[in-house]
Amino acid sequence: MTTGLNIGFGVLGLVIGWLLWIAVERVPDRRPLLAGPFPELRGAPRQPLGLAVILMTGALFAGIAARLEDVWELPAFLVLAAALVVLSAIDLRHFILPNRIVYPLTVATLALLAGAAVANDDFDPFLRAFACGAGSFLTFMTLHLISPRSMGFGDVKLSFVLGLALGWLGVGETIVGLFFGFVYGAVIGVLLIATRIRTRKDHVPFGPFLAAGAMTGVLIGDVIVDWYRR
């Protein structure tokens, strides 16, 4: 895509991020998303987390538009990025990954990637995506059964859609995305304990790290895979 289009997607992401703050505020309380008025929109840029949601969504939209060349797969990854920003913000605040977001995200990603496969007349990426999603789910489920305290079931449910999206790009990207999620979690966790912001007994939400790892896999996973294979 041209630079102008990438900038356009970045601006679109800023607008979407601003609107996403409604979901961040309302979903944990199970309030309706479309019922006005919307005071959340006024408060979003004034809060550090709200501003972070806006800027992060804009940056991800621009980065994903620059990274992906196939226009048919682009909607699936934009939806994924927007949902992961919301889920990360909610997890940081409330230590939950709401089914109200995870389940629709999973259905939407399946439908959009299936549509991309039909449009491209190539189902190999979709079959690979589904296999990677299933493999991710089984891996995370095993970790959850071994240590439920370390791996919540919300992370398990999210792992399927992360594996699904990353698997569309490639097996290598899937491994990179999930691996970096654990790396980010370990590094930040150690830093929080070292700086005494958290103790070993405190819970640290894993969802934001999984999201960051997944976006790493989407944006530069191919670069990392190529570097490793040299």
> Reduced to 3 states, what is the DSSP secondary structure of residue 67?
helix
Tokens read off for 183: 């790396």
Helices (H), 32-152: 40-43, 48-67, 74-94, 99-120, 124-146
Does 105 reside within a domain? yes
Range of the domain at 200: 70-229
> How many whole angstroms separate alpha carbon 164 and alpha carbon 102?
13
**Does 87 reside within a domain?**
yes
Q: How many domains does the chain have?
A: 1
Q: Is the pTM of this model over 0.85?
A: yes
Each residue's pLDDT tens digit, 80-98: 999 999 999 999 999 999 9
Domain-located, residue 10: no
Residue 211 lies in a domain: yes
The answer to whether residue 77 is domain-embedded is: yes
Residue 6: inside a domain, yes or no? no
115-169 pLDDT per residue, tens: 999 999 999 999 999 999 999 999 999 999 998 877 889 999 999 999 999 999 9
User: Is residue 3 situated within a structural domain?
Assistant: no
Secondary structure of residue 5 in the 3-state scheme: helix
